[in-house]
Amino acid sequence: MSAFVFLCFSIGVFNLGNNLIDIQQNEYIAQVRFYLEQGQILKELIVPDFYGYKTAPEGQYLYVLNSDGINVYNGEGQRVSLIRDKGMFAVSSNDQYLICASDDNIRLYEQGKLLFQIRVISPAIRQLVFSGDNQYLGVMMRNHFSLIGLDDRQKLWTKEFTEPLIFCKFSNDKIILALESRPSLNGKIYVLSLNGQIIQEENFQYQQYDEQIGDIQILPDGIKAKTHLREWFVKENTLLQTTDYTDSHRFSNNPSNQLNPWLQQDTIPWPLAPTDSLHPIGNSWAEFQNYGGSSYYHPGVDILSPEIPNVPVYAVKRGYIKAWLSTGNYLYWRFAIADSSLSYTDSCNAYLYAHIDSALYHKDIGDTVQVGELIGYLVYWPVDSIHFHHIHFAKIRDRGATWTAADWAFVFNPLISLSPNQDTISPRFENALTNQKFAFTRNNTSTYLSSSNLNGDVDIIAKIHDKFSVSTGDTIWDRLTPLKIEYEIIGQTVSQPKKLSFIFDKVIPPSNTVNVVYKSDNTCRTRGNYDYRDYFFIVTNTDGDSIVETTDAAFSWQTNNFPNGDYWVKIYASDASDNVSVCSMQVTVANAPAIEEYDIANRGQIKYSQGVMYNALGQKVNSTYLKPGIYFYRKDSNNVRKLLIIKPMVYIQH
C-alpha cells in the first residue's frame, strides 16, 4: 500500500480483462488501482495533471489523459505506450484505433502510431464515434456529420443539417443522428445508411427545457429514445408510449450552506444545468486581466460549460428584463434581469447574464422571468481546443425603466451567493521569487530588498491563486484569485496585528487602482489571459478597510517603527467557501541607527559642562530618558560640542 495521503472521490470502477480498476481523483491528481480477482491490489499509480480516461467496450487497455499525452496501460498496470497527443479522443471497440481531435483537425492512430490526419469542415467537433466493426469513424460537428472509411483512410461523405446535431451512434450498418431546435423544443431523429441516404425520419418533442437525448435504439416496433426524465417509443411520427422516470423538479434553491454566513442571506441556484450542482469557474471577481490593452479587473464570475456550447441558461431569481444588448459583436449579447419592474425607474439591483447566443431562443426586454426559467443559450466561444463557453455572471445596479447602455455598476460577487458552493480547495501560495515565499520592495518602486536586510518603507508581495473544486479542464484557466487576503507582522517585542489587505466581495474597484492591488514589473509580473495566470498581490497597499483606493498605495510596512531584529511575515488567503491558507516567512529588519551624531564647534555663547546633556534651549536633561528631539553635550576639554538628533520610534506591543 502506498503511504500517499489521498483525499478524493471515485470517478470510475470497472473491469478490465480479469482485473478490477478503481480510479479516484483529487483535482488534477488521480489514483489508479489495479485489483486481482481475489481483491488484492496488484498495482497503484499516481497520475499527476490528470484530465480524464477512457476504455474501449471490448478492449484490454486503459487510456489515461494527462499533460504528457495519452498513457496506455494494460490490465496489470503496466504502461505499454504513450501517445503524445491531446484533445478530444475516442477508442475503437477492440483497441485497434485511437482518434484525437482538436479544432478542425483529427488524427488517427493504430497501436500508438499515427496513420493519417484529415481536416473537417467545421471547427466545432462535438463527438467522435467508431462503428462496431471498426471500419468507419463518424465525426459529428455542429451542423455537419462526416463519415470516414478507416480501411482506405478517406472521408466518404458529409451531410449538412439546418439545426444543431446533439447525438450520433452506429447501430449495425446504420447511423443514428438527432438534432434539436431549442426555441420550439422540437427535434428530429434520422436513421442513415452507410452511403449517407436517409432511411427513416422521426419527430420528437421535449417536455422540459433541460431535457436532452441520452440514447436512441432501433427496435423492430419503432425507435426508442431516452432523456434523463423519460423514454418514449415513436414510429412513423406517431408517439406509441411514454414512460416518465421522475416527477421531481430539476431546479433547487437550497439556502443551507454552513461554510459561509453570507450565503444564508441571499442564495441563488447556478445559472447552468444542473442548477443544484457546482460548475467550473474560469475567471473570478476582480481578477487581473490584460489581453493586449490596458489592465483591468474582471467584472464578474465566468461559469464554464467546457467543450459543450449552446447549453441552456436559467434565471437564478425572479425578475424583469431591463436590458438586452451587445457591448461588441455577436459574442457579447447580455441580459440584465432586475429586481424591479420597468415601471420602477429608480436604481435597483439586477443579475447580469452575458455571452448569450442572439441567434437562438432568448427572452427579451420587458419579459418577466421566474427562478429556473430558460432565458437563452450560451454562445459558442471560439477559444482553444477546449472551448471557453461560459456565462459571464455578475450582480449589477442601474437606474431607469430600461437600461440601454452597459454603464451599470458591478456591486456584488455572485459566487458568494451561489448554492451549493461547497468548494473544498484552499487558495495556494507560490514562491514570489526563486526559493523565496514573498518579495519585498521599497514602497511603490521596483527596488527589491533582501529579506535579511529590510529597512525603510517596505511593500510585501505575495503570489497567490485559488482553485475551484470543479476543474475547467485547463490548468491555466483553473487559476483564480482568492476572495480575501490579510497579513500580519510578528516580532518578539513588537508586532502588527492582522490587517485586511483586500476583499473582493462587493463593488469592483476603479480601473486606476489595478496597480495598487497587483504588482506588475519585470520581476513580479502579474498576468491574466488565456495563456498565463500569475497574480502578485501587494498586500501592504491597504489602509485596512475593504475599499481599494489610489491612496492605499502610500501604505507600507514602516520598518522604522520596529526594532531591528527577526520577524515573521504571515499572510492569509481565503475563498468564498471560507477555505483558508496561511503562509509565513522569517525576515530581518536592519534599519540604520535611530540616532544621528555630528561634531560642531562651540562658539562660547553657552557654557557646557563635560558629560552633561542639554536640550535645544540649553537646559540640562536626564540622558537616561531622552524623547525624540535635538540635544547637545560637551565632547572633550577643547569645548567641542556633539549634536544628537534622536528620531521618533513608535512600537505596537503584543
pLDDT score for 220 = 87
Binned at pLDDT 50, 70 and 90, residue 188 comes out as very high
Beta-bridged to residue 348, according to DSSP, are: 398
| C-alpha radius of gyration, the chain, whole number | 33
The parent domain of residue 632 ranges over: 595-646
Beta-bridged to residue 412, according to DSSP, are: 395
Binned at pLDDT 50, 70 and 90, residue 287 comes out as very high
pLDDT tops 90 at residue 546: no
All three cell numbers of 251, joined, read 431546479
pLDDT score for 264 = 35
Of 496, 478, 494, 471, the residue nearest 486 (C-alpha): 496
434 and 566, same structural domain? yes
The answer to the question of residue 152 being in a domain is no
Q: Is there a contact between 306 and 387 (Cβ–Cβ < 8 Å)?
A: yes
Q: For residues 620 and 602, give the distance between their C-alpha atoms in angstroms, rounded to a whole number.
A: 17
Residues present in the chain in total? 654
339 and 367, same structural domain? yes
Q: Is there a contact between 200 and 223 (Cβ–Cβ < 8 Å)?
A: yes
The answer to the question of residue 534 being in a domain is yes
Which of 48-57, 136-145, 476-485, 509-518 shows the lowest per-residue confidence on average (mean pLDDT)? 48-57
Which of 49-53, 408-412, 435-439, 448-452 shows the lowest per-residue confidence on average (mean pLDDT)? 49-53
Which of 38-47, 99-108, 279-288, 537-546 shows the lowest per-residue confidence on average (mean pLDDT)? 99-108
Handedness of CA 192, 197, 202, 207 (dihedral sign): positive
Of 35, 62, 84, the one marking the end of a domain is: 84
Q: pLDDT above 70 covers what percent of the chain?
A: 83
What is the mean pLDDT of the segment spanning 644-654?
A: 45
pLDDT tops 50 at residue 258: no
pLDDT single digits (tens) 472-488: 888 999 999 999 999 99
617 and 585, same structural domain? no
pLDDT score for 587 = 98
The answer to the question of residue 119 being in a domain is no
pLDDT single digits (tens) 350-375: 999 999 999 888 999 989 999 999 99
pLDDT score for 104 = 63
CATH of the domain at 314: 2.70.70.10
Omega into 269 within 30° of 0, i.e. cis? no
Instruction: Look at the block and give the residue holding cell 497527443.
Output: 85
pLDDT tops 60 at residue 36: yes
- What is the DSSP pairing of strand 281-283 with strand 19-26? unpaired
All three cell numbers of 500, joined, read 485586511
Binned at pLDDT 50, 70 and 90, residue 183 comes out as low
368 and 512, same structural domain? no
pLDDT tops 90 at residue 395: yes
The torsion of the CA quartet 604, 609, 614, 620, rounded to 10 degrees, works out to -120
Of 34, 63, 84, the one marking the end of a domain is: 84
pLDDT score for 252 = 32
574 and 606, same structural domain? no
| DSSP run (H or E) holding 19 | strand 19-26
Binned at pLDDT 50, 70 and 90, residue 568 comes out as very high
pLDDT score for 434 = 94
pTM beyond 0.75, yes or no:
no
The answer to the question of residue 33 being in a domain is yes
pLDDT single digits (tens) 581-598: 999 999 999 987 655 666
Residues whose CB is less than 8 angstroms from the CB of residue 255 and which lie 6 or more positions away in sequence, other chains included: 263, 264, 267, 419
580 and 471, same structural domain? yes
443 and 585, same structural domain? yes
Binned at pLDDT 50, 70 and 90, residue 650 comes out as very low
Binned at pLDDT 50, 70 and 90, residue 211 comes out as low
pLDDT single digits (tens) 517-543: 999 999 999 999 988 999 999 999 999
606 and 561, same structural domain? no
Task: Give the residue with greater pLDDT, 189 vs 344.
Answer: 189
Binned at pLDDT 50, 70 and 90, residue 253 comes out as very low
475 and 340, same structural domain? no
| DSSP run (H or E) holding 515 | helix 514-517
Q: For residues 370 and 374, give the distance between their C-alpha atoms in angstroms, rounded to a whole number.
A: 9
Chain centroid to CA 220: how far? 48
pLDDT single digits (tens) 93-132: 888 889 887 656 788 898 888 988 887 655 456 778 999 8
Q: For residues 436 and 229, give the distance between their C-alpha atoms in angstroms, rounded to a whole number.
A: 55
Q: How is the beta sheet containing 496-503 ordered, strand by strand?
A: 496-503, 484-491, 565-574, 580-589
- Number of neighbours of residue 55 by Cβ within 10 angstroms: 17
The answer to the question of residue 6 being in a domain is yes
CA distances 650 to 13, 450, 494, 586, 627, Å, are 64, 24, 10, 22, 12
Q: Is there a contact between 90 and 99 (Cβ–Cβ < 8 Å)?
A: yes
pLDDT tops 80 at residue 237: yes
Q: For residues 24 and 28, give the distance between their C-alpha atoms in angstroms, rounded to a whole number.
A: 11
The answer to the question of residue 122 being in a domain is no
The torsion of the CA quartet 397, 402, 405, 410, rounded to 10 degrees, works out to 10
Number of domains in the chain: 4
The answer to the question of residue 423 being in a domain is no
The alpha-helical segments, DSSP class H, found in 96-212 are none
Q: For residues 613 and 629, give the distance between their C-alpha atoms in angstroms, rounded to a whole number.
A: 12
Of 54, 84, 114, the one marking the end of a domain is: 84
What are the phi and psi torsion angles at 193 (to 5°)? Answer: -80, 170
What angle (nearest 5°) sits at the alpha carbon of residue 437, between those of residues 433 and 441?
Answer: 60
CATH of the domain at 20: 2.40.10
Report DSSP state, residue 128: E
CA distances 31 to 6, 64, 614, Å, are 8, 11, 76
The answer to the question of residue 445 being in a domain is yes
